[in-house]
Amino acid sequence: MTEDKNTTIISGFSFSDPATIELARKEESAVTYLKGQIDYQKPDAVLSMYQKLVHQKVFRTAVGMTFLHEVQDQLLKRPQIPDTLVDPIYADPFVPDGSKLLTGRDQKIRDTVREDATKYRDKYRAALVVCGIFLATIIALVVIGMTSNMTTVINYRSKIENEYATWEQDLKTREQQVRDRENQLLNGEDQNLGQDTGGR
């Protein structure tokens, strides 16, 4: 691997963009690891690995794409693997974040998307805080309402019991007064009757 001032060669490919160089180096390490693990005598396992790599778009530079193409060729040569199961490789151009290859317009679009994402994230957090405050307020109001109602009910009950006790006491007092009066009247009549009889 030789490098000069303007380019870096990785797995036979020349790169000049620093962000792409970093990505290509990571892909080179991944390819080296996968080549050590891959066993073409187990085509089903190879197919499963290939499909995951393709669907998850793990490789984006020429380094990874070349490896995927090699695996694809091996799978297509296997008669036990139907061609319809070997998915095509996603190969649209990819420019990593921070790349100098981004045009001014592309960079502006990415910056706008990032700004919008940040704004929405901030608004979402603010909305969560407001919802939390509302929820706490509602819970506080419910608790206050429940405890104040209980206090009021208890107070009413106490007042009613006190009034009932007072009424009961008044009734007993009046009943006693009535009995006393009746006794007095009866005693007075008895005395009157005794006097009447004695006079005759």
The DSSP secondary structure of the chain, one letter per residue, reads --B-SS-EEETTEEE--HHHHHHHHHHHHHHHHHHHH--TT-HHHHHHHHHHHHHTT---SHHHHHHHHHHHHHHHT-TTS-GGGSPPPP------TT-TTS-HHHHHHHHHHHHHHHHHHHHHHHHHHHHHHHHHHHHHHHHHHHHHHHHHHHHHHHHHHHHHHHHHHHHHHHHHHHHHHHHHHHHHHHHHHHHHHHH-
Q: Answer yes or no: is 160 within a domain.
A: yes
Judgement on whether residues 68 and 144 belong to the same structural domain of the protein? no
Judgement on whether residues 155 and 171 belong to the same structural domain of the protein? yes
Judgement on whether residues 107 and 198 belong to the same structural domain of the protein? yes
- 3 pLDDT more than 60: no
Q: Answer yes or no: is 187 within a domain.
A: yes
The mean of the pLDDT values for the chain is: 80
| Overall domain count for the chain | 2
Q: Answer yes or no: is 1 within a domain.
A: no
pLDDT at 4: 57
Q: Which residues of 176-187 are buried (b: 16+ CB within 10 A; e: fewer)?
A: eeeeeeeeeeee
Considering the chain, what percentage of its residues have pLDDT values greater than 90?
Answer: 12
pLDDT at 20: 84
Judgement on whether residues 13 and 77 belong to the same structural domain of the protein? yes
Q: Answer yes or no: is 2 within a domain.
A: no
Judgement on whether residues 30 and 17 belong to the same structural domain of the protein? yes
pLDDT at 190: 62
pLDDT grade for 197, boundaries at 50, 70 and 90:
low
What are φ and ψ of residue 128, in 5° steps? -60, -40
**Which residue, 73, 63, 77, is CA-closest to 34?**
63
Number of C-beta neighbours around residue 82 at 10 A: 11
Q: Which residue has the tokens 């693990």?
A: 37
Domain boundary among 44, 74, 101: 101
Find out whether 88 and 65 touch, Cβ atoms under 8 Å.
no
Q: Answer yes or no: is 119 within a domain.
A: yes
Judgement on whether residues 110 and 169 belong to the same structural domain of the protein? yes
Judgement on whether residues 91 and 114 belong to the same structural domain of the protein? no
Judgement on whether residues 77 and 134 belong to the same structural domain of the protein? no
The pTM assigned to this predicted structure is 0.46
Domain boundary among 101, 133, 164: 101
Judgement on whether residues 90 and 126 belong to the same structural domain of the protein? no
Q: Answer yes or no: is 3 within a domain.
A: no
Judgement on whether residues 62 and 140 belong to the same structural domain of the protein? no
pLDDT in tens, 52-83: 998 888 888 889 889 999 999 989 998 888 88
Q: Answer yes or no: is 44 within a domain.
A: yes
Higher model confidence: residue 163 or residue 74? 74
- 106 pLDDT more than 70: no
Judgement on whether residues 31 and 110 belong to the same structural domain of the protein? no
Q: How far is 182 from 159, CA to CA, in rounded Å? A: 34
Highest mean pLDDT among 58-72, 87-101, 157-171 belongs to: 58-72
Domain carrying residue 135? 103-200
The size of the chain, in residues, is 200
Judgement on whether residues 136 and 196 belong to the same structural domain of the protein? yes
- 94 pLDDT more than 70: no
pLDDT in tens, 11-49: 888 888 888 888 889 989 999 999 998 888 888 999 999
Take residue 128 and report the two structure tokens written for it.
């969560």
pLDDT grade for 182, boundaries at 50, 70 and 90:
confident
Domain boundary among 36, 66, 101: 101
**Which residue, 95, 122, 123, 91, is CA-closest to 109?**
95
Q: How far is 119 from 111, CA to CA, in rounded Å? A: 12
- 104 pLDDT more than 70: no
